[in-house]
Amino acid sequence: MKGRKVLITGGTGGLGLGVTPAVLAQGADVTITYRNPQEVERLKAILPPADFARVNFITANLEEESSVANIINRMGQVDVLIHLVGGFSMGKTHEYSYDSWQHEFAINLNTTFLTCKYSLQKMLETGYGRIVTVSSRAALEPAGQLAAYSAAKAGVVAFTKAIADETKGTNITANVVLPSVIDTPKNRQAMGAENADKWVKAESIAELICFLGSDAAKDIRGAAIPIYGSI
């Protein structure tokens, strides 16, 4: 990805702490969207100072179409989209609020649509692009109290595969990774660390994402790749 213009959404989050340094290590020029300035400082603390010159941080609400369009217009060119933004909540279906249902789809599926839509427009102009989205094991193996999350993440898989079909015959690819529980500080706090050694590491997901975002992955399109750790 050396010299490529890469957009990483959620690059300051728990998964982003693994993915962003890996992408920068490939020599990419990176634009990162964020909502929380504290997360930006947390990311900067683990990055080599020399990498700062290749990072552009943009505050954005990816649930608003105008905000996403503005990001892409400011970048001018998008060679690689790595869409990490997502959210998670649980609840029994008969007790789950419609507002919560709508939020799960907004944060997981609507943001995927908007970032892919506007990134794809730029990729079609240049004839090159790599799109990598993040779904979940829950998309393939739905469980009780995860109905909204599972449905939204299943939508991410279907949507990404549709883009891959639309871009056949081009040098644009679209693929999706499906992690199980990711070993992040937030998940350890929420779920306890008893089984954390079995969770998939953010760094492992980063290696997979970097490959899918590279020139070498030109023949992989429409793949939904599980990455579960040892659970």
Q: Is the whole-model pTM more than 0.85?
A: yes
Q: How many residues belong to the chain? A: 231
Q: What is the Cα–Cα distance from 30 to 32, expressed in whole angstroms?
A: 6
Phi, psi for 57 (deg, rounded to 5)? -95, 130
DSSP 101: H
CATH of the domain at 111: 3.40.50.720
Per DSSP, helices labelled H in the chain are: 16-25, 37-44, 65-75, 98-105, 111-126, 137-140, 147-166, 185-191, 202-212
What's residue 190's pLDDT? 78
Tens digit of pLDDT at every position of the chain (231 positions): 999 999 999 999 999 999 999 999 999 999 999 999 999 999 999 999 889 889 999 999 999 999 999 999 999 999 999 999 999 899 999 999 999 999 999 999 999 999 999 999 999 999 999 999 999 999 999 999 999 999 999 999 999 999 999 999 999 999 999 999 988 888 888 788 888 888 999 999 999 999 999 999 999 999 999 999 987
Reduced to 3 states (helix: H, G, I; strand: E, B; else coil), residue 174 is strand
What's residue 97's pLDDT? 98
- Number of domains making up the chain: 1
Q: What is the Cα–Cα distance from 119 to 2, expressed in whole angstroms?
A: 19
**30 within 8 A of 8, measured Cβ to Cβ:** yes
What's residue 108's pLDDT? 98
Range of the domain at 20: 5-227
**92 within 8 A of 145, measured Cβ to Cβ:** yes
What's residue 194's pLDDT? 84
Sheet strand arrangement including 80-83: 55-59, 29-34, 5-9, 80-83, 128-134, 171-179, 224-227
Collect all residues with Cβ–Cβ distance below 8 Å to 165 and sequence separation of at least 6: 222
